[in-house]
A and B are shown apart, each in its own frame.
Chain A
Amino acid sequence: MHLTKGRKMKKLLVIAVALAAVNAEATNARINALGNSSHLVDTATVYNNPADIFSLGGDYVTFESGATNAAGAQQGLGNTAEGMIVRTMGDAKLGLSLGNRSTALRTTAASAAFGALATPAGLQIGQQNPLELTYGAKAGDMSWAGTLVYSNLNNKVTEAKESTMGVRLGARAGNWDGAVRLGLGDTVQTLADGKYTGTMSLSANGGYWMDSIYWFGNLRTAGYKWENAASVEQAKFTTTAITVGALSSMKKDGTEVFYSAALTNTESKIDDSVATAGSKTTSLTLPLQIGVEAEANSWLTLRGSVSQNLQLLNTTKTSPQSGAAATADLAPGNDNLTFAAGVGMKLNKVTVDASLFQVNGAGTNANITTDNMLANVGMSYWF
């Protein structure tokens, strides 16, 4: 078919846009810039739902930098750098991940409660050399996958040990998706500080698309206990969180705008023990979120999001187990606005995503600082 010059140009433009559009799915930097919205499918969401490896358009290798100013983070609880490669093997896909620190394991260790319970610094270390293997296949319209998570550290001289083991299972088909993450083992132990043991953690999430509305739900239970060097229990902590919500997504001309509202109920409990007074914290919040991801041109994508609790439903109460008066009772609670922005570049087979800035909560300035800029940088190559 003979094309006029104008049609030729248009055809080339469509091809260029199509090529550029292939690599829209990216990284932690993208996920963070979009407020970790539940509806996103990305190389980073594979760590949540392994079946997402079939929804990304092809095989890939991806790299993520770690948090800024993360001196010593390799031993501590901060996020380190990570990378993952996914390849097709016949009808299945195989994935290998290095460095990813699972959010389902040792989550409570990273929470404020961990520090508040004065758990020794020697026990506050992250997964060491974490390794994840993923396998998945398609069954008709449905794709499924599973991931094994493993890490281990053992110094026989100092008797310092760390280990984690976990499983993730996920499926995605048509309008629905679901995933389960089990933390089967989670321990940190040193001669001087005793032992941190994570209880078997469970988190699950699912979602369903109805036209442009995405209904979603999450459940997470986790906990840990800390015993001192004499094996006397010093602290025991459990938490359960349930979230249900809805998200509206509008896509047009390479731009997506989304709004969401969710209801989150969280209950955390600290048991009475030798070193810790027991307490119970409950909260009920209604987080709202607005986000946008826009293709500025064929190679540049800009994205940002803002999240905040609706003050009509934003309560948090902490009561001692002794029955004394509440030690914290926020109704409604204080500012928790989170603002994030990022940029993505699509360059042939490579996408590069970077966070521009992210600020959270009261008392922080919503401006660009060197601490926040490029806090996350991700690069993905699509085979």
Chain B
Amino acid sequence: MRLYILLAVLFISITSQQSFATKARMMALSNSKHVLDEQQIFNNPIILNHLEPFVSLESGTGVVSSTTTATSNAEGMTSFKMKDGARLALSLGHQDTHIVFSRKFINDLALLSFSMAQNPVHLFYANTDVDTTYAFGLQYSNYRDNVLRTGESSTGISFGAELGPWQLSAQYVLNSQAETVLNRFDGSGFLMGDLQYSTDSNNFYVVYTSMPARAYSTISLVESHNLQTLRIGLIESNLKDGHDPFWGAEILTTNIECKVKGGLNCQRSARSVVLPVWFGIESQVTPWMILRSSIKQTVLFNQSKDDVGYSSALFQNGTGAASDYVEGPDSVQISMGMGLDFGNVIVDGTMQTATTTFVDLSNFLTQVSLKYKF
């Protein structure tokens, strides 16, 4: 039965303009930064200027939307082209990865239950002025239960500029608050800066992020952590005749400063330096089908020192206890997916997620995206 389903889906058609994509596509390609995709707009609004107007819908997980889970993860986005050539885009439901991560960070660490962003909305604007392209983004969410005295709110801005082969983007979270009866979360002040230099086949980038996460009880600060990452990477991509084999490597440094943990002074940290390497392929095998696959693994350089004891969900090589890895544990991740084209409608689906290494019914089509091109 699964084979028939697989073959049936494979027979569905898709156009393979590879500039259009979705969460399913990004997952299948190990979220490689060289991929031109509307999902990248959330981190770099400049991408909006490279895409024709569209409507995209993303399926979510099997979990019904609730406050404390990262909702169902479903979302939708649409973009328009205005008369002066400017582009507008509106997104509903997209969970900003940094807002989600900072709240889940505290929830997992301190066993709290702060809400994720509720009914989040994103708005983007991009335009070109002579040789420079610029773009702005605004993100907003809000929720308040006056009976249970819980709520959350978030506001963020993003900016992007492009001049020739150079791209600069930045993102700042002005406000990220959540509260329960007994506790309050504050993740305001997230900052991301991204500088890229791209040629026809190479993409060089430097990305810096700083993410504070704090939680308060009614009387004092109970958790305070600050996560900083620096990524320096290079990707080579050889898109030709509908086939895009690519490979990349980056140095990823992570530093988490623990200032307060469980209401007590912490003054410890977790640090890592790793060298992930990846390669993948996106191939238009027929005019109506695209197949994608990629693999990613840390090689040679996989050092980390965790004096705090973060879990693996919060810190790469985390074990939940203090650790000092000269060479860290296994990290291989493989992803597979396919895309089908019905003319102006494109459907992308995952055959396998990046968190497992195998294909079975629980992974097949865990992420499905539908896109319409105007």
Contacts and interface: CB of A to CB of B under 8 A. Distances in A.
Contacts, number: 161
Contact of B359 (A127, A153, A374): A374
Nearest to B317: A155
B359 A98 contact: no
A321 B268 CA distance: 56
A345 B10 CA distance: 11
A65 B357 contact: yes
Given A63-B295, A85-B247, A349-B243, A70 B358 contact: yes
A343 interface: yes
A290 to B, nearest CB: 23
B358 A75 contact: no
A99 to B, nearest CB: 4
A379 interface: yes
A231 interface: no
Interface in B291-333: 291, 293-300, 302, 319, 321-333
Nearest to B334: A81
B281 A381 contact: yes
B277 A98 contact: yes
Instruction: Tell me what chain B mostly uses at the interface: helix, strand, loop, or mixed.
Output: strand
Contact of A379 (B3, B291, B358, B361): B291
Contacts of B243: 349, 381
A371 to B, nearest CB: 8
B32 interface: no
A4 interface: no
Contacts of B326: 152, 154-156
B13 interface: no
B293 A156 contact: no
Given A63-B336, A99-B297, A155-B323, A74 B359 contact: no
B83 interface: no
A131 B3 contact: no
B322 A74 contact: no
B357 to A, nearest CB: 3
B330 A74 contact: yes
Given A61-B281, A81-B333, A83-B334, A370 B2 contact: yes
B285 interface: yes
A191 interface: no
Contacts of A128: 327-330
A71 B203 CA distance: 35
9 contacts: A63-B293, A64-B334, A75-B330, A82-B295, A99-B295, A152-B326, A347-B285, A354-B6, A377-B351
Given A66-B356, A347-B289, 16 more contacts: A65-B352, A68-B360, A75-B329, A83-B334, A98-B296, A129-B331, A153-B325, A153-B330, A157-B323, A348-B283, A350-B281, A370-B2, A370-B360, A375-B358, A379-B336, A383-B245
User: Which 5 A-B pairs give the minimum distances between C-beta atoms?
Assistant: A66-B357, A83-B295, A347-B285, A81-B334, A81-B357
